[in-house]
Chain A
Amino acid sequence: MATIDMRNVRKSYEQHEVIHGVDVRIADGEFIVIVGPSGCGKSTLLRMVAGLEEVTAGEIAIDDRVVNDIEPAHRDIAMVFQNYALYPHMSVFDNMAYGLKIRGTPKDEIRRRVDEAAAMLELGHLLERRPRQLSGGQRQRVAMGRALVRAPKVFLFDEPLSNLDAKLRVQMRLEIQKLHRRLATTSLFVTHDQVEAMTLAQRMIVMNAGRVEQVGTPHEVYQRPATTFVASFIGSPPMNLVEGTLEADGLRFRCTSGDHIDLPQARHDLVGRALVLGIRPEHLLPADDGLVLTVQLVESLGAESFIHTRLGEAGPELIVRAGGLAALRFGELVSYRLPADALHWFDATSGLRIDA
């Protein structure tokens, strides 16, 4: 069991800085998901915790011990790699036992721990097989088993589910959750998939371009995105974001395109600022005298439909989530209202959330 502290962690490759100071404290037993688009530095951050990349500046501490100069082997961590990184020439048993053997664990103890992990992951009947004789999902389990048997202080997951097909991914996601509930080991899980982040995380770290945009529970991140980036990255389809300014009455929002949106409640405090107005697709509610939008395209998924609409001739595009199958055609006019409590406001220049 362990805490992880990152204090102003920076990473540069030669002159080029890729991580610009990360400050996060992870509590003992927490399941943290680091999420962000590819190239945002999330894997690099994880690899610095693992000791596979050097920390250029700042400190990483595991259990209050600064590990910057400690070899990966001595950090008491285990890592699950994206491509599994199983030893192809070893049986499943030997793959899982390798770390224990190196640490000089007695033979019967190794046997016991591997059997235990194998039972937990339903790998018992595969112990004599080679990795290449296994399916993708089974390999994934072996990689997890190899991490489990060592009973480390910290689990690190580097996009472990991205090589699996959609169905298996959902299944493994649930298993990882169950395992964490059972073992309660501090875990850092890197993914670019916001669904994984939302479902697995106790808290998530949203990263963009080497910076932390927001740290919080999935609910906090979804309900109160700290920046326009988080608002557009978390949620599928993403939050609708419209740039513009409030007119003097604080009731009419003038988009940069010239079109306007009438607000249900005046916001005098925001008058005169360059703003971004945000609203999630599911918060646009049908109304007879609401905002009139033109249908551009409808994506029907069965249980729900996403209606892509446009405000005015060349105004902003807004996506509306509607239940069931929507029978709408291109060019049709629809009307929605914007509930006051569902509106998010951001500063257009800094991208930061403006709280009331």
Chain B
Amino acid sequence: MRRTTFPNKVLPYLLLAPQIAITLVFFFWPAGQALWQSLYREDPWGLSSAFVGLDNFTRVLTDPNYLHSLQVTAAFSAATAVLALAAGLLFAVMVDGLSRGKRIYQTLLIWPYAVAPAVAGMLWLFLFSPAMGTFGILLRRAGVAWDPLLDGTQAFLLVTVAAAWKQVSYNFIFFLAGLQAIPKSLHEAAAIDGASPLRRFWTVAFPLLSPVSFYLLVVNIVYAFFDTFGVIHAVTGGGPAKATETLVYKVFNDGYVGLDLGASSAQSVILMAIVIALTAVQFRYVEKKVHYA
């Protein structure tokens, strides 16, 4: 490995400073604040606060609502990540196989990524609104008692699909790049070896995509945990009856709406810990199955 060294002693720090400043201000500071606040309880008017130790954590972890939210999050994240990855891969494979119009599909499939989460949520809410949404009306005409604002399962499905839809573009473009990086001659060699297109995909292309798939798995899970707030806020607001209240939504709800800053901070500290742990687990175990070419 080649090492590059700067002759100037100050310049490297100056060059790094903006990035470090941003990380400090927008990540470490709020994270530290959350950690600090999670040990205090504030009165409803925000005039005084008292040190309570780990009391906020015990309260949160013994709260049945919190445990319910944990389950919702697990199901929601898994479903969103699987759906977004599978759809992204499917589209990438289909576009990769095209000989004409590749660019058009490529461009169109990237667009959803440019839509803000809350807007994406509104879009799906309108489409599936039982009273005026195109699909909502179609579903009701087909005899489905469709009302995501009353039915928890339907609400869950709707936010999952909306959240996954937003992420499909991102996965698509990475999978497509991954597929295009596989030399054509490998497919040809496998074809001559007698493998059917499906078999070629599962035994040659898919294993070679594993670094991309692994990266996307990590990114998608983090996305499902944190970045889906906007979608949930726009579509269901965590309801009905907390059926779509994920951890990050509950942090917002308890802290910003309920003004229970201590409990909310404790929750965000736990949430951080969960995501860090999940990512560590993925790197530790899943990465072993990855083939870096």
* Chain A residues at the B interface, C-beta cutoff of 8 Å: 50-52, 71-74, 77-79, 81-83, 85-89, 98-99, 102-103, 132, 146, 150
Whole-angstrom distance between the Cβ of A15 and the nearest chain B Cβ: 16
Instruction: Verify A98–B193 contact, CB threshold 8 A.
Output: yes
The answer to whether the Cβ of B188 comes within 8 Å of any Cβ in the partner chain is yes
Whole-angstrom distance between the Cβ of B189 and the nearest chain A Cβ: 4
| Separation of A77 and B189 alpha carbons in the complex (Å) | 11
Whole-angstrom distance between the Cβ of A73 and the nearest chain B Cβ: 4
The answer to whether the Cβ of B10 comes within 8 Å of any Cβ in the partner chain is no
Given A81-B185, A83-B185, A102-B195 in contact, is the A88-B190 Cβ separation under 8 Å? Answer: no
| Separation of A256 and B210 alpha carbons in the complex (Å) | 66
List 14 extra interface pairs beyond A51-B192, A83-B185, CB under 8 A. Answer: A71-B191, A72-B188, A72-B192, A77-B192, A83-B183, A85-B186, A85-B188, A85-B189, A98-B203, A102-B193, A102-B195, A103-B194, A132-B293, A146-B193
* Cβ contacts under 8 Å, A72 to chain B: 188, 191-192
| Separation of A89 and B194 alpha carbons in the complex (Å) | 18
The answer to whether the Cβ of B35 comes within 8 Å of any Cβ in the partner chain is no
Given A88-B291, A88-B293 in contact, is the A99-B188 Cβ separation under 8 Å? Answer: no
Instruction: Verify B192–A78 contact, CB threshold 8 A.
Output: yes
| Chain B: CB-nearest residue to A143 | B189
* Cβ contacts under 8 Å, A78 to chain B: 192
Q: Which 5 A-B pairs have the closest CB atoms?
A: A99-B193, A85-B185, A73-B194, A89-B291, A85-B189
* Cβ contacts under 8 Å, A146 to chain B: 189, 193
The answer to whether the Cβ of B140 comes within 8 Å of any Cβ in the partner chain is no
| Chain B: CB-nearest residue to A97 | B193
| Separation of A50 and B186 alpha carbons in the complex (Å) | 14
- Kindly state the interface size class of chain B when it binds its partner: 20 to 34
| Separation of A132 and B191 alpha carbons in the complex (Å) | 22
The dominant DSSP class at the B interface is helix
* Cβ contacts under 8 Å, B189 to chain A: 79, 81, 85-87, 146
| Separation of A89 and B205 alpha carbons in the complex (Å) | 10
**In this complex, which of B188, B208, B293 has the most chain A Cβ atoms within 10 angstroms of its Cβ?**
B188
Whole-angstrom distance between the Cβ of B14 and the nearest chain A Cβ: 39
The answer to whether the Cβ of B239 comes within 8 Å of any Cβ in the partner chain is no
* Cβ contacts under 8 Å, A132 to chain B: 293
Please list 9 pairs of residues, one from A and one from B, whose beta carbons are closer than 8 Å in the complex, sorted by A's number. Answer: A79-B189, A81-B188, A81-B189, A87-B190, A88-B291, A89-B207, A102-B193, A102-B199, A146-B189
**Residues 185 to 239 of chain B near chain A (Cβ within 8 Å):** 185-186, 188-196, 199, 203-204, 207-208, 210
Given A83-B185, A87-B186, A89-B208 in contact, is the A73-B291 Cβ separation under 8 Å? Answer: no
Instruction: Verify A73–B191 contact, CB threshold 8 A.
Output: yes
**Residues 63 to 99 of chain B near chain A (Cβ within 8 Å):** none
* Cβ contacts under 8 Å, B207 to chain A: 89
| Separation of A341 and B199 alpha carbons in the complex (Å) | 61
Interface string of B99-115 (1 = CB under 8 A from A): 00000000000000000
Partner of A89, one of B191, B196, B293: B293
* Cβ contacts under 8 Å, B208 to chain A: 88-89
Instruction: Verify B204–A87 contact, CB threshold 8 A.
Output: yes
* Cβ contacts under 8 Å, A99 to chain B: 192-194
| Separation of A259 and B183 alpha carbons in the complex (Å) | 55
Instruction: Verify B185–A50 contact, CB threshold 8 A.
Output: no
| Separation of A72 and B189 alpha carbons in the complex (Å) | 10
Instruction: Verify B192–A73 contact, CB threshold 8 A.
Output: yes
Instruction: Verify A102–B291 contact, CB threshold 8 A.
Output: no
| Separation of A83 and B207 alpha carbons in the complex (Å) | 20
**Residues 243 to 293 of chain B near chain A (Cβ within 8 Å):** 291, 293
Instruction: Verify A52–B194 contact, CB threshold 8 A.
Output: no
| Separation of A146 and B196 alpha carbons in the complex (Å) | 18
* Cβ contacts under 8 Å, B195 to chain A: 73, 98, 102
| Separation of A71 and B204 alpha carbons in the complex (Å) | 19
| Separation of A73 and B199 alpha carbons in the complex (Å) | 13
**In this complex, which of B185, B199, B210 has the most chain A Cβ atoms within 10 angstroms of its Cβ?**
B185
| Separation of A132 and B292 alpha carbons in the complex (Å) | 10
| Chain B: CB-nearest residue to A94 | B203
| Chain B: CB-nearest residue to A78 | B192
Partner of A79, one of B183, B192, B194, B291: B192
Whole-angstrom distance between the Cβ of A107 and the nearest chain B Cβ: 17
Whole-angstrom distance between the Cβ of B185 and the nearest chain A Cβ: 4
| Separation of A71 and B196 alpha carbons in the complex (Å) | 10
Instruction: Verify A50–B193 contact, CB threshold 8 A.
Output: no
* Cβ contacts under 8 Å, B190 to chain A: 87, 98
